[in-house]
Amino acid sequence: MTEQVDILIVGAGPSGLTLANILGLHGVRTLVVEERDTLIDYPRGVGLDDEALRTFQSIGLVDRVLPHTVPNQILRFFDAKRKLLAEMAPPDARFGWPKRNGFVQPMVDAELFAGLQRFDHVEVRFGCRMETCAEDDDGVTVQFATGQDPVRARYVVGCDGGRSATRRLMGVSFDGTTSSTRWLVVDVANDPLGHPNSEVGADPARPYVSISIAHGIRRFEFMIHPDETDEQADDPAFVRKMLAQRVPHPDRVDMIRHRVYTHHSRIAGSFRKGRLMLAGDAAHLMPVWQGQGYNSGIRDAANLGWKLAAVVTGQAGDALLDTYDLERRKHARAMIDLSTMVGRVISPTNRRVAALRDRVIHAASVVPTLKRYILEMRFKPMPRYQQGAVFHAEPSAAGGVSPTGTLFIQPRVDTRDRQNVLLDDVLGPGFAVLCWSNNLRAILGDNAFRRWKELGAEFIEARPMTQLHWPGHDDPDVVVIGDKTGALKAWFDTYTDSVLFLRPDRCIAGACIAQRAPEMSEALFDVLCLTQGGGSGSHGHTGPVLHVAQPATEPSGTVTGTP
């Protein structure tokens, strides 16, 4: 008998596990297959950003992830004389979390895996390697090389890394370059330095990196010169010689592992082909310099998860999935380009080139605006969707820049029965319609209000704290929140739009002034491919996809294998 599931995810790495948690919350029958016998148990990624933590918050696991992080981590760049070139210590947390966080990837991945035990409709199978897949009009039949019975899925998502079998079966290219420069990475326990921050040494003699991960683990990275072989770099004596440049007693270091690797700058020719899709390293690889490889995979999962859930349960048409490539490709490409550029700036071994770089950076650092630009990481590309599951209205007579296609902020707010809560915990896991201090039912109109309600959307009226308990606009379907920090008013001060339609991934799908709300609502139902009346689930699903599925009280999921 061929097993039937809605979504088959290939690969139990961070992208696949995050996607499985999102789908689990939306009640989607999901199978994750992993050819390894266990989760990978050594550190790879070492930095989490605020967007990734916000996604982990959305799947109810952030409190389990935070103990394995070093929040507000400072990153300093030094020249060959250990003179400070630049520092990154972004002060704001506009999305609710610090922008820079060290973390222990195996421990965080283990929490993502354990989170799946909440769902009796999600399964993980280890030791299961996909061999072939055959697509037809209704789904995909997947055969395995390891003797398991075939599986029939509506969609397959390859989260199976840079050597993705899914990408190969799709016949999709992996365009870009692989750097000829090699690096020795060394992970050690019982941190011999012990401080909580990280540094990059832009020393032309041998560029290096030193990163505090968490739990007393530190990563060192050293550039390998062209005349040094991989065999040399693998020699423990060579490793300790490298460590001697950074620690006083390299012979006393408690080494976890070491290996040689190269940097890749690659992106798949397409993130979707029919019923097969790619996410994470299977879709894009980038150098480590901005710590965005792991985070980009989490962004993929956040973007794709709600769309798959909406399509599988019949609340949106298949065309919604085309917006995944439209939205994620440009941003992933920007992250690859930024990481590649930073690597080129850091790693020149020509002393004249390095000296020129140092003079330029030191000169720029005395200009306050440039210094803030680096310190606050304003150079980091942020998602801004011009196409996809968004609707850009014609500019209003008042003019101004539209926030459509950007991520909405997440300040702390008060409700009438809760204080100091993060905004997303009020918005819930699905769509939300939010306005500033106005009667939301009245400005939407009964028809639009009903349609969003049928989709499980939350309705939020944001007010100044002085008006939090005023009963004038009270509506049983609208949650009133108080602007505890003033961040919401400051945000609305920047734009002319006062009504926001928020997607489950907290991107602003559409924004308008109050009188335009019914028209904007109608346009969004079209561009989001949403079905009339909200639809109902198929393949055993019933009710709105964007309501959180209730996890089991006790871990009762069919997660198999050993993490």
Is 103 annotated as ligand-binding?
A: no
30-34/3-10 β-pairing: parallel
The model's pLDDT over 309-320, given as tens digits with 9 standing for 90+, comes to 999 999 999 999
Q: What is the pLDDT of residue 361?
A: 77
Which fold, 412-534?
Glutaredoxin (3.40.30)
Q: What is the pLDDT of residues 225-279, one digit of tens each?
A: 999 999 999 999 999 999 999 999 999 999 999 999 888 899 999 999 999 999 9
59 known ligand binder: no
Mean pLDDT across 419-441: 97
Report DSSP letters for 448-493, one per residue.
Answer: HHHHHHHTT-EEEEEE-GGGTT--TT--TTEEEEE-SSSHHHHHHH
Q: Is 280 annotated as a binding residue?
A: yes
| 484 annotated ligand-binding residue | no
Torsion sign (Cα): 430, 436, 442, 445: negative
**pTM (global) more than 0.85:** yes
Question: Band of the pLDDT at 371, cuts 50, 70, 90?
Answer: low
Buried b (16+ CB within 10 A) or exposed e, 374-410: bbebeebeebbbeebbbbebeeeeeeeebbbbbbbbb
> Quick check: 507 and 407 in contact, CB under 8 A?
yes
Known binding residue 20? Answer is yes
Any known ligand binding at 23? Answer: yes
Flag whether 106 is marked binding: no
Q: Is 228 annotated as a binding residue?
A: no
Give the lowest-confidence range in 205-219, 288-302, 333-347. Answer: 333-347
- Residue 235 counted as an annotated binding residue: no
Q: Is 7 marked as binding a ligand?
A: yes
Is 394 known to sit in a ligand binding site? Answer: no
pLDDT at 397: 52
- Say yes or no to pLDDT of 55 above 50: yes
Beta strands at 217-224 and 208-214: parallel, antiparallel or unpaired: antiparallel
- When the pLDDT of each residue in the chain is averaged and rounded to a whole number, the result is 89
Res 350: pLDDT: 81
Mean pLDDT of 60-64: 98
Which residues, in sequence order, are CB contacts of 495 under 8 Å at separation 6+?
400, 401, 402, 403, 511
Maximal C-alpha separation, the chain? 76
| Residue 100 among known ligand-binding residues | no
Domain with CATH 3.50.50.60 in the chain: 3-68+105-175+265-346
Alpha-carbon distance 171 to 192, whole Å?
47
246 annotated among ligand-binding-site residues:
no
Task: Average the pLDDT over 351-369 and give the result.
Answer: 76
Query: Is 35 assigned to a binding site?
Result: yes
Check the annotation: does 421 bind a ligand: no
Q: Confirm whether residue 9 is marked as ligand binding.
A: yes
Asked if residue 272 belongs to a known ligand binding site, the reply is yes
Single out the residue of 142, 144, 119 nearest to residue 129, CA to CA.
144
Tell me what pLDDT residue 543 has.
Answer: 35
Asked whether residue 438 is marked as a ligand-binding residue, the answer is no
Name the fold adopted by 3-68+105-175+265-346. FAD/NAD(P)-binding domain (3.50.50)
Residue 547 has pLDDT above 60, yes or no: no
Q: Is 193 annotated as a binding residue?
A: no
Residue 377, pLDDT score:
53
Domain with CATH 3.40.30.10 in the chain: 412-534
- Segment 176-194 shows an average pLDDT of 91
Pull the structure tokens for residue 311.
């399509």
* Residue 273 among known ligand-binding residues: yes
Which tens digits make up the pLDDT trace of 124-162? 999 999 999 999 999 999 999 988 899 999 999 999 999
